[in-house]
Amino acid sequence: LGLSQSLVLRKVTGRWAWWIGANLASWLIVDVALLLLSRLSGDLDVLRGDGSVAEVYLSLIATTPLTGRALLWVLAPSALTVAEDP
């Protein structure tokens, strides 16, 4: 996911490669957190690890703050590339 998005970001910012790592790191952090939560609490039925729709949505919602913060840094005005007029 981060790789395909970075192809678009490459045209806009010089920090596009960082987006791949930030995306990977945020998904890994959330997956580990969800795994630990599912192991610690048998009551959380959405954290079964079977790819249920609720689990996928929970993963997407949980990664948003991490990837959002990284995207703000990647797209900071100081990192944007200016298109030159021909």
Residues 59-68: contacts with CB within 8 Å, 24+ apart?
A: 59/27, 59/30, 59/31, 59/34, 62/30, 62/33, 62/34, 63/26, 63/27, 63/30, 66/22, 66/25, 66/26, 66/29, 66/30, 67/22, 67/23, 67/26
Residue 20, in any domain of the structure: yes
Residue 84, in any domain of the structure: no
Whole domain around residue 7: which residue ranges?
2-79
Residue 70, in any domain of the structure: yes
Tally the domains of the chain: 1
Residue 85 pLDDT = 47
Each residue of 17-26: pLDDT tens digit? 999 999 999 9
Each residue of 5-61: pLDDT tens digit? 889 999 889 999 999 999 999 989 988 887 787 777 766 655 555 667 777 788 888
Residue 32, in any domain of the structure: yes
Residue 50, in any domain of the structure: yes
